[in-house]
């Protein structure tokens, strides 16, 4: 006897029977695609084990979607091999919202080819091929893929541990290898789409064979697929790289890969964000400092960064001496702390720096403002006593939530990342560090989850990920507790007994990188920056040349009240000028005709097309002042 769990109800089954057979016999849910056996996922056809509990997995559940996507990756492989039998299959894993398959093909596959490949996949799916799972030995697996001349599969088989199960999947003439589970028949693969083609490398190493990667997405219903594609369209509309070009914010060029050329409008947004954070820091008792861009390699060796980040650090030589361009600011802050004798009465000491750092990120990972090689961290380090840790972390948690709320982000995910395999410091220090962070989170009633093994090499950390309007997560803020680096770099203070002690160092960032945060804001607001962040807040348009003097007088009045305003007095149709400045995302458009001049008023329109009617310049300026002071997100 064993149990089948369906819809939280447990059914006792007297004889061996799969969930699939159980569903058929009970005319039940046809959307069940797999089952868990004692916590592990299995194909439906495998679910006939006795003395265990089987739990049904539906296609619209997370596990179920992964199963659909595993099966779609193989369906893609089947289609590719039918189109060109010479193609060699490499790997085809499930990823967030879809799957991809890396292949080696003599012919370059382009975006134009995807529709044809997709059509072949649909034809194959409709043939209702059973998807058959077969467990084989390592020797048998090698024989199968040697006959099929799948060189990369053979390399993967060689890497599989001796006692690990190898499963191969068949549908018609196509054979592939996968841990699974998969669906039982191709007819259930209906709602998928191939998305794009990109380059990749075997095992992710640029020194290895270049490959082609085909991305796809797959869902359980047509509605889910359509919703996902619409979300992608909206993401494309909000793409900060396109908006950056259209709104004249920044550009990139090959002569400086991964580095930003800021234009006036973009630099204003960057500076406004930085100025706001600066004022917040000053009000919270931080010292604003600045440390050198280049430091002797010996310091980075001593801090542990050179060993951990050697592949990302830019190195330079001067007079036969080796230096590193700083990838982060923490060692420099310890050098500032080490100037002069510090007492326990001086602590906590808070140093903040908008530190320009450089990291030699692989070219294939660069992505607009979101992944670059030269960027500015809103970096800070707090030097404190062990007794001050929890209070300081509590303040930081509050700071992070406050700042994110100003920019309109209130859905925050919090994770505690624990000790990684490669780390400095002994386990007793890590035990103490992790315990301190857990206490601070619990005492602040923060909902959090554990992220095992993802801490910094010098200490555990709390990571804060915000969710944007498209439900995308962005990991930005971090609080990292460090008992090791201050000791490695000889930081000390004198305690109340006159003894020399090593301070605790708390690393913290709120925005992470200002450049990346600006990119996120551009996409979050779709370029419609809030009034306080808008490079130009107001544009004044005349209907005819009769209103030019009046327009100039209004411009002067607004400028004298610190409003960022421009006048457009071109001899163009007013409808043309309104459309142009609406597309340029200027928050308010003032329209002046003869009636406005006669009434000594202005007509105001928002960039979203709302007609606010006539008002006095004084009332308009009061409205602007209120929006700016309150950091309003709406206009």
Q: How far is CA 355 from the centre of its chain?
A: 21
In terms of DSSP bridges, do strands 473-482 and 504-513 run parallel, antiparallel, or are they unpaired? antiparallel
Known catalytic residue at 381: yes
Complete DSSP assignment for 1-35: -EEEEETTEEEEESS---HHHHHHHHT--TTEEEE
Instruction: Exactly one of 88, 191, 241, 381 is catalytic; name it.
Output: 381
Instruction: Exactly one of 47, 72, 178, 330 is catalytic; name it.
Output: 330
Instruction: Exactly one of 461, 508, 581, 627 is catalytic; name it.
Output: 461
**Tokens describing residue 371:** 């992944």
Known catalytic residue at 287: no
3-state secondary structure of 321: strand
Number of Cβ atoms within 10 Å of the Cβ of 324: 24
Closest CA to 201 of 315, 321, 84, 104: 104
Instruction: Exactly one of 379, 468, 482, 528 is catalytic; name it.
Output: 379
> 148 to each of 79, 93, 213, 428, 483, how far by Cα in Å?
16, 20, 21, 54, 55
Rounded distance, CA 43 to CA 36, Å? 9
Sequence-ordered alpha helix ranges (H) in 204-345: 222-237, 240-246, 264-283, 297-303, 305-309, 330-337
Known catalytic residue at 171: no
Rounded distance, CA 340 to CA 581, Å? 56
Instruction: Exactly one of 358, 373, 507, 607 is catalytic; name it.
Output: 507
Three-state DSSP string of 380-411: EEEEECHHHHHHHHHHHHHHHHHHHHHCCCCC
Four-CA torsion 113, 119, 122, 124, nearest 10 degrees = -80
Instruction: Exactly one of 305, 371, 377, 627 is catalytic; name it.
Output: 377
Known catalytic residue at 230: no
Rounded distance, CA 178 to CA 75, Å? 13
Q: Which residues of 403-437 are buried (b: 16+ CB within 10 A; e: fewer)?
A: bbeebbbeebebbbbbbbeebbbeeebbebbbebb
What DSSP element (H or E) covers 482? Answer: strand 473-482
Instruction: Exactly one of 342, 359, 581, 585 is catalytic; name it.
Output: 359
Known catalytic residue at 359: yes
Tell me whether residue 214 is exposed, middle or buried, using C-beta atoms within 10 angstroms of its C-beta: 0 to 12, 13 to 18, 19 or more: buried
List, by residue number, the catalytic residues: 330, 359, 377, 379, 381, 461, 507
């Amino acid at each position: 006897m064993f149990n089948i769990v369906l819809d939280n109800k447990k059914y006792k089954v007297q004889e061996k029977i799969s969930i699939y057979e159980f569903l058929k016999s009970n005319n039940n849910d046809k959307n069940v695609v797999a089952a868990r056996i004692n916590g592990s996922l299995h194909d439906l056809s495998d679910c006939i084990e006795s003395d265990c509990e089987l739990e049904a997995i539906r296609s619209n559940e997370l596990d179920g979607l992964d199963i659909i996507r595993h099966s779609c990756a193989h369906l893609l492989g089947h289609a590719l091999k039918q189109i060109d039998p010479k193609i060699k299959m490499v790997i085809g894993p499930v990823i967030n919202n879809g799957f991809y398959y890396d292949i080696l093909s003599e012919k370059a596959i382009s975006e134009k080819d995807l529709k044809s490949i997709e059509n072949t996949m649909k034809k194959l799916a409709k043939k209702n091929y059973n998807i058959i799972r077969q467990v084989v030995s390592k020797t048998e697996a090698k024989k199968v893929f040697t006959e099929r001349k799948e060189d990369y599969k053979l390399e993967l088989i060689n890497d599989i541990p001796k006692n690990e199960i190898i499963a191969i999947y068949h549908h018609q003439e196509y054979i592939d290898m996968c841990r699974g589970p998969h669906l039982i028949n191709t007819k259930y693969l209906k709602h998928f789409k191939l998305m794009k083609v990109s380059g990749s490398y075997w095992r992710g190493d640029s020194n290895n064979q270049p490959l082609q990667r085909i991305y796809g997405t797959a869902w359980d219903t047509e509605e889910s697929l359509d919703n996902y594609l619409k979300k992608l369209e909206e993401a494309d509309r909000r793409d900060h790289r396109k908006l950056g070009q259209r709104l004249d914010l920044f550009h990139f060029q090959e002569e400086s890969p991964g580095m930003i050329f800021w234009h006036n409008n973009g630099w204003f947004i960057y500076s406004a964000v930085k100025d706001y954070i600066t004022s917040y820091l000053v009000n919270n008792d931080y010292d604003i400092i600045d440390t050198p861009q280049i430091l002797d390699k010996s310091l980075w060796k001593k801090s542990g960064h050179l060993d951990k980040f050697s592949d990302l650090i830019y190195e330079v030589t001067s007079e036969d001496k080796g230096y590193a361009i700083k990838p982060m600011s923490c060692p420099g802050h310890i050098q500032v702390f080490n100037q002069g004798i510090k007492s326990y009465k001086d602590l906590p000491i808070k140093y903040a720096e908008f530190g320009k750092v450089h990291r030699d990120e692989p070219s294939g990972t660069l992505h607009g403002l979101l992944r670059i090689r030269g960027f500015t961290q809103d970096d800070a380090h707090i030097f404190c006593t062990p007794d001050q840790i929890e209070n300081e972390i509590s303040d930081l948690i509050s700071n992070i939530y406050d700042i994110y709320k100003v920019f309109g982000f209130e859905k925050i995910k919090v994770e505690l990342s624990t000790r990684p395999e490669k780390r400095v410091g002994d386990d007793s220090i890590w035990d103490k560090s992790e315990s301190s962070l857990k206490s601070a989170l619990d005492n602040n009633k923060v909902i959090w989850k554990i992220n095992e093994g993802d801490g910094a090499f010098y200490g555990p950390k709390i990571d804060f990920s915000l969710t944007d309007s498209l439900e995308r997560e962005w990991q930005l803020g971090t609080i990292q507790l460090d008992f090791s680096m201050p000791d490695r770099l000889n930081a000390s203070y004198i305690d109340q007994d006159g003894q020399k002690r090593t301070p605790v160092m708390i690393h913290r960032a709120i925005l992470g990188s200002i450049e990346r945060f600006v990119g996120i804001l551009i996409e979050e607001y779709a370029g419609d920056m809030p009034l306080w962040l808008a490079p130009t807040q107001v544009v004044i348009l005349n209907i005819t040349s009769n209103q030019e003097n009046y327009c100039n007088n209004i411009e002067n009045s607004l400028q004298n009240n610190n409003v960022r305003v421009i006048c457009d007095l071109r001899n163009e149709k007013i409808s043309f000028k309104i459309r142009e400045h609406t597309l340029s995302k200027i928050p308010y458009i003032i329209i002046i005709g003869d009636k406005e001049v006669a009434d000594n008023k202005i007509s105001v329109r928002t960039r979203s097309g709302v007609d606010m009617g006539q008002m006095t310049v004084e009332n308009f300026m009061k409205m602007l002042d209120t929006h700016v002071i309150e950091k309003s997100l709406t206009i």
